[in-house]
Copies of this chain bind each other. A is one copy, B any other.
Amino acid sequence: MNDDAQGAAIRVERPTKTLRELALDKVREAIINGYFRPGDRLVERDLCAQLGVSRTIVREVLRHLESEGLVANLPNKGPIVAQLNHDEAKQIYEIRAALEGMAARLCAEQNNPAIADALNKSLEDIRHSYREKDMAGVLAHTSSFYQTLFSMVDRHVAWGVVNLLTVRINHLRSMTIKTQNRDVQGPAQMARIVDAIRRGDGDGAYQAAMDHVTSASAIAQAVLSGRQPID
């Protein structure tokens, strides 16, 4: 008993990430951070060499990323890094708007101050990262802001969908947050979400969340079509 209890307490929290999962993370990361660029071919055997794993693993990883939408498969030519076109990006932002709006409304309807508090915490982290010019931190904490939004009302499925879609527009995100004034406007818009939630104002929270994504989408569109917005 004692043994069991101690064993459980001591047990090294090893979710034994399998080699496949490690490889998956590595490749996904490589695509997200731009090591592999959109359109690049992903040659199986090259990946084997680079990752130091067998083709079995590489193939499973490629399949997985394919169903995530990060990799596209040309018939008889093989996998390439998926290219995100304009219109698709817009659609992804639109879906996020709908789902994040929904989650924000649900949060507001909970009338639980702890939610607004938790969100404010993330928001502070975001502001801090902006001040430090730590753009990776901004992205991470923004992600965690939204994760809180969904998990506080137990919407992990919706969070999964948002997360899945988000990786596909990740490079856009990293560009939008770098635009002029986004360090002020972004957090301000998110603060409006939190305020509405604290007031228990469902419609307001919904609208504020929609607005935030919509404005990010607009910036992304501008970035995609070349010119930087002055805003």
A residues contacting B by CB (< 8 A) are 14-16, 18, 20, 56, 59-60, 63-64, 66-68, 75-76, 87-88, 91-92, 94-95, 98-99, 102, 154-158, 161, 165
Q: Which of chain B's residues have a CB closer than 8 A to the CB of A75? A: 14-16, 18
- Taking a contact as CB atoms under 8 Å apart, the answer to whether A95 and B158 are in contact is yes
Q: Which of chain B's residues have a CB closer than 8 A to the CB of A154? A: 87
- Taking a contact as CB atoms under 8 Å apart, the answer to whether A95 and B15 are in contact is no
Q: Which of chain B's residues have a CB closer than 8 A to the CB of A158? A: 91, 94-95
Q: Which of chain B's residues have a CB closer than 8 A to the CB of A98? A: 98-99, 102
- Taking a contact as CB atoms under 8 Å apart, the answer to whether B95 and A161 are in contact is yes
- Write the nearest CB–CB distance from A20 to chain B, whole angstroms: 8
| Selected contact of A94 from candidates B60, B64, B87, B102, CB within 8 Å | B102
| Selected contact of A60 from candidates B15, B63, B76, B95, CB within 8 Å | B63
How many subunits of this chain does the assembly comprise? Answer: 2
Q: Which of chain B's residues have a CB closer than 8 A to the CB of A87? A: 154
| Selected contact of A67 from candidates B67, B99, B155, B157, CB within 8 Å | B67
Q: Which of chain B's residues have a CB closer than 8 A to the CB of A60? A: 59-60, 63
Give complex CA distance A75, B20 in Å: 12
Q: Which residue of B lies closest to A65 (CB)?
A: B67
Give complex CA distance A68, B157 in Å: 12
With A91-B158, A95-B161, A98-B102 given, name 4 new contacts (CB 8 A): A18-B75, A67-B68, A87-B154, A91-B157
Provide 7 A-B residue pairs closer than 8 Å at the C-beta atoms, listed in order of the A residue: A15-B75, A18-B75, A63-B63, A64-B67, A94-B102, A95-B161, A98-B102
Q: Which of chain B's residues have a CB closer than 8 A to the CB of A59? A: 56, 60
Q: Which of chain B's residues have a CB closer than 8 A to the CB of A99? A: 95, 98
Q: Which residue of B lies closest to A99 (CB)?
A: B98
- Write the nearest CB–CB distance from A70 to chain B, whole angstroms: 11
